[in-house]
Structure 1
Amino acid sequence: MRLGTDAAPVGVAERLRTLRKHSGLTQTDLAGERFSKEYVSQIELGKTRPSAEAIEYLAQQLEVDPLFLETGVSSDERSRVEATLSRGEALIEDKKYAEAVEEYVKARALVTDDVVLELELRALSGEAWARMQTGELKPAMELLTQARDLAERPRFSDLDRADVLFRMGVCRYKLTSLQTAISLFTEALALTKKSDLPCDRLRADIYRWRSRCYRRQRDWEAAREDVELALELAEGVGDPREIANTYFQASLIAERNGHWVLARSYAERAKNEYERLADKVNYGRLLNNLGAFNFMLGKPEEAERLLKDAFRVALDTDNEIDAAYAIGSLAKVHLETGRPEQGEEQARKALDLLGGREDCLDEIGNAQLVLGRSLLARERLAESDEWLRAAERSFEQIESPGHRSAALVARGDLAAREGKDADAARLYRKAAELLQDVRF
């Protein structure tokens, strides 16, 4: 690790002075023939920052580990922290997020005030990412705020700062602060363009997640442009997982644009990559999407089979959220094929699995909407009204006028069923007004 050339960190100054006195050496003794007494004195006073070569020489004179003199952490201690961080990163790769959090907590406990700052940044960013995946968004944001402050130090690169901003953008997306997320992603991209370090994988991730923001805002053209850039970068890197993730996003955009055959083609390509990678979690998610595509293409039986498979895979991987998405999709299929009793049962099950998680408000709203419509189909009008209003509130929180208009149309249908024609007309008009601002 290379230090700068200005004032010495307080820790280095104090350690050098303490170690010299403990060894019974004077400043002249420590300087030897290599340096002057005044140079050693300036370091101990914190007025001069020693070069890497000076650290190496002084550590040799003191018979200590150079890394310990520089950072206060021995090579063995650093190795323990790095091993713990590596375990956390491997667990994230395996999507075992709760276990990853435990490893990062251990790593941060090993990080002392004098530890190498690069390890502290890895610990903060890694733990934040793992907590995001378990729905702990506010604690994750607090960790990332600390990471951003740390990354502003001169020793870190623009690429380090871009990575932290990218993670903050993902967290803001999950908190449904879409415009803030887009700004963070755009700032991160600007930093990657300033960096001389290879960063195509990070850039692909940033474009892919910014595309998700545009998709949520129904800016389909911007979403398509970003996902195409992400795919180009992912293919250039040759990373099968990045390619699969990007095809997954491309399939969702094609679906929203009504290109269902193309969407299914993209989803099939992503599914094949996930199968080769033995990535059961994302494979299950693709089955869910393929189920939705087949339903839109008029193949309800094939859709039901795929959604049941997606639910099974989610249970096999202990992923309750993905299980909720699959059972929620199945509820919609059953509702729209004339089986509202099953639609009600499965929508309630989806809501139980989701448990009110703030990063799943879109799916919570969808399940509430299906439940409300299922109850409407069964003439349980008061209960239907309760759940349709709940769906509208959920969609308000994710700033999605398209989703909210669907809830308003459902409430209009309920009012019409109750013979309240004026209320129905008002709700339909309100839904139409919301859709005026939606990009199709």
Structure 2
Amino acid sequence: MGVAERDDPETIGRRVQKLRVERGLTQKQLAEPVYTPAYVSTLESGRVRPSDDALRHLADRLGVAFDELATGRSARLVTELRLRLTGAQRTLAAGEAEAAVEEYTGLLAEAEAHGLAEERAAALLGLGECALETGELVTGREYFERAERCLADAPLPARVPALRGRAVAHYLAGELRYAVYLLETTIDELNRGGLHDPDALLLLYTGAIGPYMDMGAYVRAAQAAEFALALAPQSQNPELVARMHRSVARTLLAEGRVAEADASLAKAAELYRELHLRTELANCHWMRGYVYAQNGELERAEKELREALEMLSARRASLYSSQVTVELADVLHRRGRSREAADLLRGVLGGLSPERGAVHAAAAHRLLGIIAEDARETERAEEHYVRAMSLLERAGAAGDLADLCRLLGDLLRRTGRVEAALDAYRTGLGHRTAPGTTTLGPAPAQPPV
């Protein structure tokens, strides 16, 4: 233990005196046979900073651990708190976010009372993950920011989970560019500083895939997936590896590698089952539904998405449930059940907004526009398309925006508004130019794998 990690001499002195009196020892009895009563008196008054050897001697005579005498914290307390933090993590992984919040809140209070920075940061991180689970994005972001401040003096790899959590909160809120900025700058800082931590880098590259895909930066998403796959064998964290396989499936699918995407998801699902991570397993069903839908296997897609929705709804993961519902509605529409799809979409739009699931809110409006257009309700279709465009422009989701401009342009052309249609097409073409390069700077450096 370094000197900086100890309490100040006055605090240590008061602690030594209190423990000595409690045990009925004189200063002479405490000092013998190595030190003098005068030294103990000076130490108890806080006028001398004790050496490690002196503290070990005193701790032995007082019957306490060295750490407890130096910091006021018992090793047993720290161990118990860490075990309970693991328990709270399991509660959250099982989808019981409300119960996990109670556990983490109690642990946070205890960690703060005992001045345990690392355990305090872990509790804040857990509360941030709970907030993401329940869709409270602003609250989640605040918890992650507090965790970062708590770890301000720690090495960068220790701060990465909090940084990644904050980036995810911004991503889910529709702030794609800022999420990418946070992830990329942290990756570059790690690589430049020679801080080659496989788990930290894997967490960051995996986290970047979703925002890259939504921004239309497909080449960069594929590159992040390639780096993540190369890092995976070095990671000792099976949950991280499972999350990586789930994210990489998106890039494989975008490249038309459907069988490989499905295999990647199968690996993730197997790991999640072994780890008893039910919420993450629900996300695997969600992703497999997406894969099947993209491959035209609509019946299998509906089955997977309904299973994901049932698992997520049962655990009150409201934001994720809303997002799955939008994708299920798309499958139902493609299966000829447009009325059912529209009912589902109208039911979830209240839970989505520009600050909360913007990309999926836009997808809901886009699909409602298509359904309205099929029913020859032209004005309503245009209204939905315009609202979707506004959401996507704000989020910077270039890939989806280009497709939506085409839909709106086609609608305007069919209704005789040629100039307006040309404007929509031009806007779409602008977003298709060099996907990802118009809003992002240079790609992060490759990790030394």
TM bucket (normalised to shorter chain) is 0.7 to 0.9
Q: 1:428 to 1:360 in 2, by over 3 A?
A: same
Partner SS state of residue 3, structure 2: coil
Residue 183 of structure 2 aligns with which residue?
182
Separation (CA, whole Å) in 1 of partners of 2:321 and 2:17: 58
How far 1:418 moved relative to its partner? 3.4
- Unaligned regions of 5+ residues in structure 1, if any? none
How far 1:298 moved relative to its partner? 3.3
Of the three residues 335, 340, 343, the one matched with 1:342 is: 340
Q: 1:293 to 1:86 in 2, by over 3 A?
A: closer
Residue 131 of structure 2 aligns with which residue?
131
How far 1:44 moved relative to its partner? 4.9
Residue 140 of structure 2 aligns with which residue?
140
Partner SS state of residue 358, structure 2: helix
TM-score with structure 2 setting the length: 0.81
Partner SS state of residue 127, structure 2: helix
- Unaligned regions of 5+ residues in structure 2, if any? 438-449
Q: Is the 8 A contact 1:224 1:253 kept in 2?
A: yes
How far 1:318 moved relative to its partner? 4.6
Q: What is the CA RMSD across the aligned residues, in angstroms?
A: 3.6
Residue 287 of structure 2 aligns with which residue?
289
Q: 1:371 to 1:15 in 2, by over 3 A?
A: farther
Give the counterpart letter for 1:206 in structure 2.
L
Q: Does 2:378 align with 1:377?
A: no
How far 1:370 moved relative to its partner? 0.9
Of the three residues 221, 226, 229, the one matched with 1:228 is: 226
Of the three residues 405, 408, 419, the one matched with 1:408 is: 405
Q: 1:302 to 1:73 in 2, by over 3 A?
A: closer
Q: Is the 8 A contact 2:134 2:316 kept in 1?
A: no
Residue 299 of structure 2 aligns with which residue?
301
Question: C-alpha offsets along residues 25-71 of structure 1, whole Å, 9 cap, x if unaligned?
Answer: 787775444346458736854763642x4333223445556544333
Of the three residues 394, 398, 404, the one matched with 1:397 is: 394
**Pairing of 1:234-245 with structure 2 (within 5 A):** 234-237=232-235, 240-245=238-243
How far 1:369 moved relative to its partner? 1.3
Q: Is the 8 A contact 1:411 1:424 kept in 2?
A: yes
Q: Is the 8 A contact 2:13 2:44 kept in 1?
A: no
Q: 1:362 to 1:35 in 2, by over 3 A?
A: farther
Question: C-alpha offsets along residues 332-382 of structure 1, whole Å, 9 cap, x if unaligned?
Answer: 233345543233222223324x44484522212211211122122223333
Separation (CA, whole Å) in 1 of partners of 2:161 and 2:239: 18
Q: 1:312 to 1:81 in 2, by over 3 A?
A: closer
Residue 363 of structure 2 aligns with which residue?
366
Separation (CA, whole Å) in 1 of partners of 2:398 and 2:315: 34
Residue 433 of structure 1 aligns with which residue?
430
Question: C-alpha offsets along residues 144-195 of structure 1, whole Å, 9 cap, x if unaligned?
Answer: 3333333233xx4554244444444444444422233224531563499437
Separation (CA, whole Å) in 2 of partners of 1:59 and 1:332: 67
Separation (CA, whole Å) in 2 of partners of 1:391 and 1:428: 16
Q: Is the 8 A contact 2:209 2:248 kept in 1?
A: no
Residue 252 of structure 1 aligns with which residue?
250
Question: C-alpha offsets along residues 85-112 of structure 1, whole Å, 9 cap, x if unaligned?
Answer: 2322222332333322221111122234
Sequence identity (%): 19
Residue 97 of structure 1 aligns with which residue?
97
Separation (CA, whole Å) in 2 of partners of 1:55 and 1:381: 81
Q: 1:77 to 1:272 in 2, by over 3 A?
A: closer
Separation (CA, whole Å) in 2 of partners of 1:15 and 1:157: 32
Residue 422 of structure 1 aligns with which residue?
419
Q: Is the 8 A contact 2:101 2:130 kept in 1?
A: yes
Q: Is the 8 A contact 1:291 1:307 kept in 2?
A: yes
Separation (CA, whole Å) in 1 of partners of 2:42 and 2:427: 76
Q: Is the 8 A contact 1:20 1:26 kept in 2?
A: no
Partner SS state of residue 152, structure 1: coil
How far 1:384 moved relative to its partner? 2.7
Separation (CA, whole Å) in 2 of partners of 1:125 and 1:262: 33
Q: 1:15 to 1:224 in 2, by over 3 A?
A: farther
Give the counterpart letter for 2:123 in structure 1.
A
Separation (CA, whole Å) in 1 of partners of 2:42 and 2:387: 69
Decide which moves more: 38-47 or 119-128: 38-47
Q: Is the 8 A contact 1:300 1:333 kept in 2?
A: yes
Separation (CA, whole Å) in 2 of partners of 1:114 and 1:240: 32
Q: 1:280 to 1:107 in 2, by over 3 A?
A: closer
**Pairing of 1:29-44 with structure 2 (within 5 A):** 31-35=31-35, 37=38, 41=42, 44=45
Residue 314 of structure 1 aligns with which residue?
312
Q: Is the 8 A contact 1:408 1:428 kept in 2?
A: yes
Give the counterpart letter for 1:86 in structure 2.
T
Q: Does 2:36 align with 1:4?
A: no
Give the counterpart letter for 1:243 in structure 2.
V
Q: 1:397 to 1:22 in 2, by over 3 A?
A: farther
Residue 115 of structure 1 aligns with which residue?
115
Residue 16 of structure 1 aligns with which residue?
15
Give the counterpart letter for 1:297 in structure 2.
N
Of the three residues 316, 321, 324, the one matched with 1:323 is: 321
Q: Is the 8 A contact 1:165 1:188 kept in 2?
A: no
Separation (CA, whole Å) in 1 of partners of 2:161 and 2:426: 44
Question: C-alpha offsets along residues 270-299 of structure 1, whole Å, 9 cap, x if unaligned?
Answer: 344445555443343333333333333333
How far 1:253 moved relative to its partner? 0.7
TM-score with structure 1 setting the length: 0.82
Q: 1:271 to 1:83 in 2, by over 3 A?
A: closer
Give the counterpart letter for 2:418 in structure 1.
D
Q: 1:151 to 1:200 in 2, by over 3 A?
A: same
Separation (CA, whole Å) in 2 of partners of 1:435 and 1:76: 59
Give the counterpart letter for 1:121 in structure 2.
A
**Pairing of 1:259-274 with structure 2 (within 5 A):** 259-274=257-272
Q: 1:389 to 1:6 in 2, by over 3 A?
A: closer
